[in-house]
Structure formats: structure tokens, C-alpha cells
Amino acid sequence: MSDYTQYGTGAPLVDEKAPAGPVADRWDTRRFEAKLVNPANRRKHTVIVVGTGLAGGSAGATLAEQGYHVVQFCFQDSPRRAHSVAAQGGINAAKNYRNDGDSVHRLFYDTVKGGDFRARESNVHRLAQISVEIIDQCVAQGVPFAREYGGLLDNRSFGGVQVSRTFYARGQTGQQLLLGAYQALTRQIAAGNVELHARTEMLDLIVVDGRARGIVARDLVTGEIDTYFADAVVLASGGYGNVFHLSTNAMNSNATAVWRAHRRGAYFANPCFTQIHPTCIPRTGDHQSKLTLMSESLRNDGRIWVPKAKRDERPAGEIPEDERDYYLERIYPAFGNLVPRDIASRAAKNVCDEGRGVGPGGQGVYLDFADAIARLGKAKVEEKYGNLFDMYAQITAENPYETPMRIYPAVHYTMGGLWVDYDLQTTVPGLFAIGEANFSDHGANRLGASALMQGLADGYFVLPSTINDYLARNPHTDDVDATHPDVAAAVAETEDRINLLLSIDGDRTPDSFHREIGELMWEFCGMSRTEEGLRKALGRLPRIREEFWRRIKVPGTGEQFNQSLEKANRIVDYLELAELMCLDALHRAESCGGHFREESQTPEGEAARRDEEFSYVAAWEFPGTGGAPVLHKEDLVFEYVHPTQRSYA
Amino acid sequence: MTRTLWDSTVGKKVIMAVSGLVMLLYLVVHMIGNLKIFFGAGEFNHYAHWLRTMGEPFLHHEWALWLVRIGLVAAVVLHGVSAYHLSRRDIRARPSGYVHRKPRAAYATRTMRWGGIILALFIVWHILDLTTGTVHPGGFQSGRPYQNVIDTFSTWYGNTVYIVAVLALGLHVQHGFWSAAQTLGVGNATRDRILKTTANALALVLTAGFVAVPVAVMTGVVS
Amino acid sequence: MKLTLRVWRQPHAEAPGAMATYEVDGISPNMSFLEMLDTLNEELVLDGDEPVAFDHDCREGICGACSLVINGDAHGPEPTTTCQLHMRSFQDGQTIDVEPWRAAAFPVVKDLVVDRSAFDRIIQSGGYISAPTGTAPDAHATPVPKPDADFAFEHAECIGCGACVAACPNGSAMLFTSAKVNHLNVLPQGAPERETRVLDMVAAMDEEGFGGCTLAGECATACPKGIPLPSIAAMNKEWLRATRKVRR
């Protein structure tokens, strides 16, 4: 077995699909150059879509509207439960309805800069262009966005940008957009154009003659493992934040689909780019199963502080003003509590590491509204944040009007994902990745209210246009079925893995391993990373993996509804993905966006990018089990937005 | 449209609501008529006689009364058959209950089905007692309703059956009226109070108005 | 906290089920109800028993997956989802009964997991606005009066958990169906399909074997998102209107 950290470097990767020319014209150019499939022939093509969130739901509905036969999968009992449903804040669009100077170009600029110059200009510009169409589409579907008394749509500013371009539906924008996509999808299910398999989880990708031709999936109710064939496969299976065990992701969100695709040849890009959100409700103990996000809008009026003394056990109310450290206001006088997400998160970690954290386990900082209540009055605060305060009170049984909230950062979103070209196609022909599952648009840090925008842009507008080109160039054939040796091998591998998990009968539960990997990743590949820590993690992960395959205990059988088996099978993939994340974090010896390497900081302690060495996308090729991965670099070129160092002091 | 009504749970509820309201209207009139008993035998018997001569000379003798009776029978049948269909469906929709049982919903709501059955049986007895006289205690005399009423309410079982039925009616109307308003789409958040108050008032007035007669006979106010 | 749990165990849809009794100890009042069940399941797995199956996903009260009847109440004693219910709502030493949603239209899959696909089929019958991608006019082309937009939103908040059906003595899906009908029918975008939507969705609801509404009001009490009972009356009004307008 070779040393994992001795990765090889392969040929540079080039996005051949992005047209040249002015950035504003590239999407039109590509759409014109892409081949089309004759409407009468579309019915013959089957497209598999894995996942029914914003990206998958909108893609499935739109492809079916275009006449393709869509076979769609979700592991939940209904497509409406995909985790996009939990997004709170809003969705950005360059509508400029406020006439406040917004434009497609400004959204493009903000997103490239917010991503700390690690995203592609072509993709981001397309995203900004499409953003305006998304809002039109959603309104036509009946998404009940917030409106003003005149009946027109309301906007708010979000994530520290200087314009009001965020459309929202109270604190449930994700839910409303998802229901819009879900309803569009159900319309196509009713019309017979989409064949939906709920409670069915993709466990492997079928690649025949170098092309993605289907998937292996398990019916979670009967346990039956089946094969599904198609002319193209679209992964819309979301991010991999659950590698960290505790995150704001849903409990069952997982990395299996993307990781299995990676093992079958799809390159994995920038796996170390994870976003850690500063305002989440802290954990209360070892029983904690997940973390809950609180909208970052709270930082507009709340003041963040910790006691000046270490291990100060007094209740917040008994700590006098001069013994409090409003550390963000102290360190960043210009931006104060409104510094970007990554900076606020890291600062909270630092004060807790010093032993000044509050609440159980010292893993929390205060977010105090006493000043806001004194200044604005309780009624005004309630009007602005009432639903968030209620949510906090429900979970913690503390009244945030009287005692300060306690918050702590939590893993929230993964900017990394499968490498895709401008057409959203991975390095496996016929395999596409959309939404959070791909890496494409957010660079090293995602701006608030941009995840929903990207998911829907990919699903409604980008993929349905670009997939035509692939399908037109690869006419439908019926040459693959379950008897094909490559298919039989994929099925056998899946069955073997499941049988092995069931047969070990060890003495540790799947959850105990998940927690162990999560804690390791949080410590060494979380908010701030060092070469030493990452090497330590890379040393320990293979040992955990070895222990896993020796001591895992999965009760029951494979031929039944078996939630332990589902969990254990997902952890198998986390164990491998975690290793790649650490390796990627180790190799990227610069700090950028959500990736903070302690070795690379400015004299003020801020993230220092090293553009000369690292202005590229790191796309990793799977080397085969036990081998060292191969790095392919895609150089990033900035013609319109010129890289600058961020400063918030 | 008839098919849509009959085939749908919502449609059957509409049929129940409309037939229920028809019966409710009749009951209000019936109760007012009953109260005439407090003005003596002459006026009460005269009123009873008028019911048969209503609409004359345009209508033949008792035609108007028969029209009302036909309408009422139709309402009772539609109400009952719909209730039977819906109840069967509801029971099928919840084949197994919870191990942990909790008292559910308001009393009036929970007693709609049994209350309805009690009322249906009562109607049969009530007609056999005071319309046809088949089961009337003592000698039933057609054309002398005042005496017939006093005969009925001079027996313990006559009073018991009647009062139990009227109380069941009160509960049935209390939920039924409000429920009918919801079914017919009249209810909304702002009107809810008015509808609930009206339902309570109707239930109370009908119960009091109907119970007044046997109580008056028992206490000797009417004799 | 130490608790006695009586949990419905049923190996699969066709097998008979029964309540099984478990003791759990060391429960923190800060745990969510599902974390308490996680604790039980960890013990069961280590003992070589099958863990209790239950649906859950987001654990922040929005996906609608969690679905337990706790001591006879859908989602338990607080007006929220099971995942947002915390153990501080219970007393040390208490016995807690945990059962699946009960309705003919929601057959048990395993233990506390039920099949709610009937809800998806109701939506498929008309719970959408036909607006194929790319056909939309500018979002500001049709202003929507704020009261209508708010009305639509309040009904669109439904998470499709099925607590309304579980709580209803008749296993009726009227509150669920009315929430979607009202959300879409009040909007100008939903107007072209206004009549067919309500007629088809009510017919689909009946077809799935849900019971009728007797206005018991249990659904609205159990609803974790506060969909109000008058929502049903509003749908009835739409249905009657549609019945008059559409000849079939």
C-alpha cells in the first residue's frame, strides 16, 4: 500500500466546454453551439436523476417537460423532504427591483470575490445571468415570496453585500422553492414522464465503455438491490457536510452517490472547501445528533462576546460590562459583528480554545440582544427576529429576550464536489453533477442566499440545455442490461459490501464510528487547519477504517428495512472521503475562503491567499483502493475580477 | 353535478349540511308551534287544524302539509344515508386505533353519530305517538292534539324519551350548525365566533323550547 | 432521567405488531425526543437487537419526515414536530407510549415508519401550477395583493408530515389537501387551474381511502405548522364553486 500523502500529479485539466469571448456572451454562445435532440427523439432517451432537492427536482421536472424519459431517485419517503427544504434566508437574483445599482455584473463580481477567487468566471457569470429567470419561474409556479403592500416582491440585503437582492419567503425560502420544484416534478410524475423511486438509494454508478449508463440502487423498504439503465446519469445528491457527523445537514444527507461516482472515475474537486457557519445553536452533550442553524441576519443587531476571564462560570447577567470581551468589535473595529462567516467562525473557535467559551463544555459564545432591545424596544426586536428567537427558545428552553443566546459555528455547506465542466458534465462522459454535489460556482466560500440560486440555475436552466449536446452526440442504444459483465461486477461489489457489513458482527455501532470520524475531522480539518494536524488525521483515518471493518455491528439482514445498514454503508464512504478532504487541505498550503491554514496568514492573523501557487481547482482522480490519488490542476483565469486580498480590520 | 356531489366526501357533507339546515328550519317552526300550547287548548288545536288547511283554497286539503312531509322525509333520508356512507368510510379509514387512548374532540362532536341514531329512532316513535297514534298511551284522538300531548307527557317513559331526544338534538345542532357552515364554506377565521355563538344559541333555544312542553305538563302548568 | 418506553414494534407491513417495553436511563432533559430514541437504539444494537425504525431527517422541524404518536398525541405534547420536542417536556420516571401514525391510507412499513405516498399522489392530481420552465413572464408582471400573498404563504407552510391524518378520528386528509388548494387557488398564477385543481385533489383524496371531515378540529390542534381549521371551510367553498362552474 502506497503512502496516501504521496499523491501523484496528472495532466492539467481544461474546461473545454466554456466558449471564449466576452464573459457576458459565453452562455448564449454555448447554447447555440450545443447540439440539440429532435423533440420526437427525446422520448427514446432515458435520464436518471439522483436526488430531488432544488437541483434534482427542478432538473427532473424540466427534462421531463422537454420530452425525455426521466427516472428519478430519492432515499426519503417523498421528494418533498430533500434537505433544500431547510434553507432559511433567501435566494439572490440580480433583478435590481430596488434600483440600488445592482446588475448581473455586480452579482457576478460579488460572487467571484466572495468565493475568494477560487471559482470560474464563466460559470459564475452564467449563474448571475440566470438568477433573474429563476425568480420569474418560481413566481409563475406559485412560490409565495414575501411581498410589499403594493403587491410587488420584497427584497432584503443579506450576507454583507451592499444591495438588496435577496428574495425570501419569511424564514422558509428553501421550503417554498423546494415545494415549487416538487410540484413541478409531481406534475410530470402524474403525466407519466417521470418514474419516481422514493426510499431508494443509489449505491453505485454503472460505467460501460467509459460512459455512465446507469446506477445500482437499493430499495430501502425491501432491501432489494436493482439496476437502472439510462443514456445519462445526473447526480443531484447534495453536499458531504455529514462527514463531520455534527452539521446543519439532515441526518440522512450523505456522500455515497458522489463518492461512488468518484471511485468510478469522476474527479473530485476542492474537497477541503467546507463552509462553517458562525451562528448555530451549540451542542448540549454527547447525545447531540445534529446542529441547527440560526439565520446570520441575527448578527445585524446582536453583539457577540465572551467573559474576559477563563472558565468564568457566572451566568451572563452577573458578568459586569468591563469583564466582557466583545472580541469581534475589538479585533475588527470597522466591521465588528458583521465580518464574513469564515472570520466570525474562526474568532469564536479561538476564544473557546483559550478556555473562554460559555455554556456546557465551553463550546459557545454569547450573542447578546440586550443593547438592541434597549435601543429599539422589545417589540421591534420581536418583529425582526421573533421566529428565530422562538426557535432558539424551543431548542434550548432559554428566553433570548432575557439571557443572551449562545451560539457556536457548525459545518453548513460544502463548496467542493465532483469536478464538472461548463456543461456540468463530470470527467465520466454521460455523468453530470448539479447543485451542491458539484464544485463549480462558489469557489472557496459561498455567499449567503447563493446556494438556492445555484441549485435552481443548474436544474431549471443549465443542465436541461447542456445535456442535449451529450445526448445528441451519443444516440440511444439498448446494448446494456443486467447481464453485461461491467454491470454484474458493480452489482456484485455492492452486494459484497453489504454482506460484509452484516457479517462482521463486532461490538461497535455505526454511530460510534461516525462520531469518531466527525470529531477527528472537526479538530483537524475544521475551522483552522495545520500541516501537523492534517498529517495526524491522515495517520489516524486508515486505523479507524481498519477498526471499522473489524468491529462494526449491523443487526438485521439486508433483505429488509434496515436503518443501521444504511448508516453503516454511508460511513464506509465517509471514511474514504475524509481522507481525501484532509489530503486536499494538506496540499493547499494557502488560506482561502473557508479553508484556513494557520501557516498562511497575514501579520494581522487573517487568511493569506497565495495566488501564484494555488490559483487553480484541485481535481482528484481516484487511484484504485489503497493507492495515492492523482491531482489534476485546472488553472483559474481572471479576466474581469482581479484578485485582491480581503481585509476587514 | 349531482354525481359529483354524491360521489365525493365533500359533496356528501354538502348534502348533509343542506338537509340538516332544512330540518333545522323546520324544527324552529315546529318549536314555535309547540309553544302555543301555553295559550290553551283552543289556540293549540286551532293551530294544528290550520296546518291541514294551509294553502287552501289554492291547494287541496292537507296538500301543503304533505308537501312539507315529503320534503322532510327526503331531508331525513338524504341526511341519514349520507351519514351512514360517510361513517362507514371514516371507520374504514382508521381501522386500528391507538393503544394510548385520549379523550378526543368536544362532546357534541363525538356524539354526532349516536346522537343521530337516537334522533332517528325518536322521530319514528314521535310519529307513531302523536301523528298516527299507534303507540299513543291512552286513547288517541285525531283532531285533539292538545289532549294527546298531555297524555304522552303524563307517562314517565313519554317524558324520558322525549327529554333525552331533545337533549341529543341540542348537542347535534350545536356541532351540526357550525359544521354545516364550514362545509358550505361560510366559515372563516373572522366569522368563527359569530357562527359558534349562533350554533350555541340555536341549540339552547331549541332545547329549552322543546323541553318546556313536557316540563309544563309535569309541573301542571299545562293540563 | 429514567423512562419506561412502550414502543410499537412491527417487523414489516404484513406482520402483526405489538407494543414492546424498554427502560432507558441517563436521559438528559436537553435531548430531543429523537435523540432519546437514538440512545435506546444504540443500546439495542449493542445487544444485538434490531433498533426501532422511525422516519427522521432534517431534525429542525421542516422536512416533515418525523412522525410519532407520543402518549396519544401526534408529535407529542408540544405544538411542534417530534424532532423539536425535547425531553424536558416529560417527567423522570414517566411511561411514554410511542406509536406510528394510524390510518388506512398510511400503512405501516416497519415499527414507527409509515408509507405516506398517498400525500404525494394527492399533489400529483393537481397540487401544482402548470408553468413549464422558461415560459414565465417577469416576476413583477402580476402583482399579488399582500393579504393574498400572506394567505398563500400561511397555507404553503404545510410540511406534509401527516399529523393531521394521524390525529383525525376519521383518518381524514382534509387539512393537508386544503392547505395546498388554498395556497395555489388564492394566487393569480393559480387561477387557470383553480376549479380542476380542487375537484381533482378532493377526488384523489377520496380515492386514497382517507376518511371524511367531521370538523372535530383535531388536525389543526396537531398541526406543527399551525395550518388553521378554517382552511377546510375555505377549500369546501372552492369545491362548491368549482362544482357549479365545471360540468363533468
pLDDT digit string, tens, across residues C106-162: 999 999 999 999 999 999 999 999 999 999 999 999 999 999 999 999 999 999 999
Q: Taking Cα atoms as reference points, which of C173, C64, C238, C201 lies closest to residue A190? A: C201
A506–C contact, CB cutoff 8 A? no
- H helices, E strands: number in chain B: 9, 0
C-alpha cell recorded at residue A354: 483559550
CA distance A314 to chain C (A): 20
C8–B contact, CB cutoff 8 A? yes
Query: Are A91 and A166 within 8 A, CB to CB?
Result: yes
Measured between CA atoms, the residue of chain C closest to residue B7 is C203
Backbone angles phi, psi at B50, to 5 degrees: -60, -35
pLDDT value at residue A159: 64
Question: What CA–CA distance (Å, rounded) separates C30 from C32?
Answer: 6
What is the average per-residue pLDDT within B90-114?
87
Show residues of chain B in contact with C213, CB under 8 Å: 9-10, 13, 183
Contact B109/C216, CB-based, under 8 Å?
yes
C227–A contact, CB cutoff 8 A? no
B19–C contact, CB cutoff 8 A? no
pLDDT value at residue A160: 62
What is the average per-residue pLDDT within B78-92?
96
Closest partner CB to C169 (pick from B104, B189, B192):
B104
| Chain C interface, best mutation among B1, B94, B174, by max C CB count within 10 A | B94
The end-to-end CA distance of chain A, in Å, is 47
C214–B contact, CB cutoff 8 A? yes
A649 against B165, higher pLDDT = B165
Closest partner CB to C211 (pick from B89, B105, B192):
B89
Domain residue spans of chain B: 2-219
CA distance C125 to chain A (A): 7
CA distance B65 to chain C (A): 32
Question: What CA–CA distance (Å, rounded) separates C67 from C12?
Answer: 17
Furthest C-alpha separation in chain C: 64
CA distance B35 to chain C (A): 33
Judged by DSSP in three states, A375 sits in helix
pLDDT digit string, tens, across residues C20-37: 999 999 999 999 999 999
* C116 burial type by CB count under 10 A (0-12 exposed, 13-18 middle, 19+ buried): buried
Alpha helices by DSSP H, B8-142: 9-35, 41-53, 63-93, 107-110, 112-130
Question: What CA–CA distance (Å, rounded) separates A516 from A526?
Answer: 14
Which DSSP letter does residue A241 get? G
pLDDT value at residue A649: 65
pLDDT digit string, tens, across residues B208-218: 999 999 999 99
Show residues of chain C in contact with A250, CB under 8 Å: 57-59, 63
DSSP string, A458-505: IIIIIHHHHHHHHHHHS-------TTSHHHHHHHHHHHHHHHHHHHH-
Domain residue spans of chain C: 3-110, 116-245
Closest partner CB to C103 (pick from B93, B102, B185):
B93
B72–C contact, CB cutoff 8 A? no
Asked if A touches B (at least 3 Cβ pairs < 8 angstroms), the answer reads no
Q: Is the ipTM of this complex over 0.90?
A: yes
Q: Which of residues 59-98 of C touch B (CB under 8 A)?
A: 69, 71-73, 97
Backbone angles phi, psi at C188, to 5 degrees: -60, -30
Q: Taking Cα atoms as reference points, which of B203, B221, B216, B212 lies closest to residue B28? A: B203
pLDDT value at residue C46: 95
In terms of CATH, what superfamily is C116-245? Alpha-helical ferredoxin (1.10.1060.10)
Question: What CA–CA distance (Å, rounded) separates C10 from C16?
Answer: 6
Domains with residue ranges and CATH for chain A: 277-412 (3.90.700.10), 495-623 (1.20.58.100)
Show residues of chain B in contact with C215, CB under 8 Å: 109, 175, 178-179, 182-183
Q: Which of residues 107-136 of C touch B (CB under 8 A)?
A: none
Q: Is the pLDDT of residue C2 over 70?
A: yes
- The residue to which cell 400525500 is assigned: C119
B100–C contact, CB cutoff 8 A? yes
Question: What CA–CA distance (Å, rounded) separates A335 from A345?
Answer: 14
Residue B109 pLDDT grade (very low, low, confident, very high; cuts 50, 70, 90): confident
pLDDT value at residue A606: 83
pLDDT value at residue A463: 98
What is the average per-residue pLDDT within B67-89?
97
Q: Is the pLDDT of residue B181 over 90?
A: yes
Question: What CA–CA distance (Å, rounded) separates C81 from C64?
Answer: 8
Where b means 16+ CB within 10 Å and e means fewer, A172-210 reads bbbbbbbbbbbbbbbbbbbeebbbbbbbbbbbbbbbbee
Whether the bond between C228 and the residue before it is cis, its omega within 30 degrees of 0, is no
CA distance B87 to chain C (A): 8
Integer angstrom CA distances of residue B37 from A234, A501, B30, B132, B206: 82, 86, 12, 20, 16
Average pLDDT, chain B: 94
C-alpha cell recorded at residue A644: 485582491
| Chain A interface, best mutation among C24, C108, C112, C120, by max A CB count within 10 A | C120
Closest partner CB to B188 (pick from C205, C216, C230):
C230
CA distance A81 to chain C (A): 5
pLDDT digit string, tens, across residues C91-111: 999 999 999 999 999 999 999
Q: Is the pLDDT of residue C247 over 90?
A: no
pLDDT digit string, tens, across residues A379-392: 988 877 888 898 89
Q: Which fold has domain B2-219?
A: 3 helical TM bundles of succinate and fumarate reductases (1.20.1300)
Contact B1/C244, CB-based, under 8 Å?
yes
Q: Which of residues 52-71 of B touch C (CB under 8 A)?
A: none
Question: What CA–CA distance (Å, rounded) separates C123 from B14?
Answer: 24
pLDDT value at residue A2: 57
Measured between CA atoms, the residue of chain C closest to residue A188 is C124
pLDDT value at residue B139: 84
Q: Catalytic residues of A, which ones?
A: 341
pLDDT value at residue A1: 45
* Residue ranges of chain A with per-residue pLDDT less than 50: 1
pLDDT digit string, tens, across residues C56-75: 999 999 999 999 999 999 99
Judged by DSSP in three states, A177 sits in helix
Q: Is the pLDDT of residue B103 over 90?
A: no
DSSP string, A303-345: EEEEESSTT--S-GGGS-GGGEE-HHHHH-TTTGGGS-HHHHH
| Chain C interface, best mutation among A97, A134, A170, A187, by max C CB count within 10 A | A187
- What is the CATH architecture assignment of C3-110? Roll (3.10)
